[in-house]
Amino acid sequence: MTARTETAGSPGASAWGSSNAVASPEPGGAATDALLDELTAVVGGARHEARFIVDEALAVGPGATRPGLVPAGAVEAARALAARRATGEPLQYVFGHWPFRNLDLRVDPRVLIPRPETEQVVEVALGEARRLLGIRPGVGLVAVDAGTGSGAIALALATELGAGAVDRIWATDTSAEALAVAAVNLEATRPAGTRRLPQVELVEGSWLDPLPEGWRGRVDLVVSNPPYVAADEWSGLDPAVKAEPRRAVVAAPGRDGAAGLSDVEAVLEQARLWLGRPGAVVVELAPQQSGAARERARQLGYDEVRVEQDLAGRDRALVARLGGAQ
């Protein structure tokens, strides 16, 4: 996961006092612009967060037109949400859900918050999936989301590729609590999709270890967003990041001492044992880890290794391929 997140500082005192009262054209209601001003102060000046909060209270989607007047019930709901955000609780946990590509995912403190960087990793993985489908047309893929958390990667692959392209997706995690969240998201995705979904299996265990032995050598694509923040970085992280499960954020050094690289290496090592030929693994990492991760992938015998950048131009996704049958 990326350790950077955009958050607002917490104001010292409550902003609901009379000095910050919103002009109310009707009892309990509030003019939208005035309410946005009020909430912006509450969440430490983050105007964009105030907009998110008002939209959440109004139950309107991104880009929707807000009414000029916010009804009384929505005003109180928005104030309650802003008060929680002002304590430092991540906005995603305050809302209890967050968008990820074409999905609206349930998120809470049991799982990592889905981020735009991981959306780009999924884009890279989709490219690898389509490349593999071109090599073996008519053969559905077997994919693994190693360390699934909320199920974000597995469900994005399932909904965007569809059952015709993918036969089965294994979604693994060592946390039973995280898998419970993923199960809720999986169930919510079924009726919402316009395409039939491939079979998605949620299994508890470390990376690819919980897969049945009979699938060894039959996996086409492994995708993962493992922990990759070094332990000594934890104390300096934004409080909103530190509200996330530490186990999903922090990793030990790699085998050659590269900070935070142990789980990235573990995914590469296990994927090498389970992938068939042709096959590929796509792993999210921190930009400063890309050189060490490339070297480890080459040591493991992957035939092609490269790193893709995120939208900010930073190294973000390691792609390691196995070529045709040998």
pLDDT at 61 (0 to 100): 79
Instruction: Give mean pLDDT, residues 106-122.
Output: 97
CA 320 from chain centre, in angstroms, equals 21
Map out the domains of the chain with their CATH numbers: 23-87 (no CATH), 109-322 (3.40.50.150)
pLDDT at 151 (0 to 100): 98
Between 113 and 15, residue with greater pLDDT: 113
Predicted structure pTM score: 0.88
Report residue 22's pLDDT band, with 50, 70 and 90 as the boundaries: very low
Average model confidence (pLDDT) for the chain? Answer: 90
CA distance 247 to 201: 22
Backbone torsions φ then ψ of 189, nearest 5 degrees: -75, -30
Backbone torsions φ then ψ of 306, nearest 5 degrees: -150, 170
Instruction: Give mean pLDDT, residues 292-312.
Output: 97
Cβ 250 vs Cβ 234: under 8 Å: yes
Instruction: Give mean pLDDT, residues 47-52.
Output: 94
For the chain, report the end-to-end CA distance as a whole number of angstroms. Answer: 34
Instruction: Give mean pLDDT, residues 121-135.
Output: 97
Tokens standing for residue 14? 């409550």
DSSP, residue by residue, 106-164: E--TTSPPP-HHHHHHHHHHHHHHHHHHHHSTT--EEEEEET-TTTHHHHHHHHHH-TT
> pLDDT per residue over 266-288, tens digit each?
999 999 999 999 999 999 999 99
